């Protein structure tokens, strides 16, 4: 008999049970998980790529912390705020870091 002829005979006929419809048994496999990301090495680190340290941004946070917290619905406690008088007479509230 030619290779695969038996399978064609079995599959071609209606089998009494679904197990007889396939001449082989499927092996159960564990579901495949996504591979865990590997930790970055010193060479792959974005901050030190190219052998030089990345430039430090001089802009900083463009919004005052009080404004950011206000958008989030939080208040800066008055005990944290300090007031500084600028040369032009403007009182500036800030949080000392």
Structure pTM? 0.26
What are the residue ranges spanned by the domains of the chain? 64-97
pLDDT greater than 80 at residue 37:
no
Environment class of 65 (CB within 10 Å of its CB; exposed 0-12, middle 13-18, buried 19+): middle
Q: For 52-75, what is each residue's pLDDT tens digit?
A: 666 665 566 667 777 777 788 877
> CA of 17: how far to CAs of 10, 20, 96, in Å?
11, 6, 78
44 vs 40, higher pLDDT: 40
Instruction: Give CA–CA dist 71/18, Å, rounded.
Output: 62
Average pLDDT, the chain: 69
Instruction: Give CA–CA dist 71/65, Å, rounded.
Output: 10
**Predicted local distance difference test score (pLDDT) of residue 92:** 86
Q: For 77-92, what is each residue's pLDDT tens digit?
A: 888 888 889 888 888 8
């Amino acid at each position: 008999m030619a290779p695969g002829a038996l399978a064609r005979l079995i599959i071609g006929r209606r089998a009494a049970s679904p197990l007889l419809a396939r001449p082989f048994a499927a092996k159960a496999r564990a579901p495949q998980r996504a591979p865990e990301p590997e930790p970055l090495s010193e060479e792959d680190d974005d901050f030190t790529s190219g052998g030089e340290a990345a430039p430090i941004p001089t802009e900083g946070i463009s919004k005052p912390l009080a404004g950011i917290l206000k958008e989030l619905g939080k208040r800066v406690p008055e005990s944290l705020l300090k007031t500084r008088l600028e040369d032009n007479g403007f009182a500036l509230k800030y949080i000392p870091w």
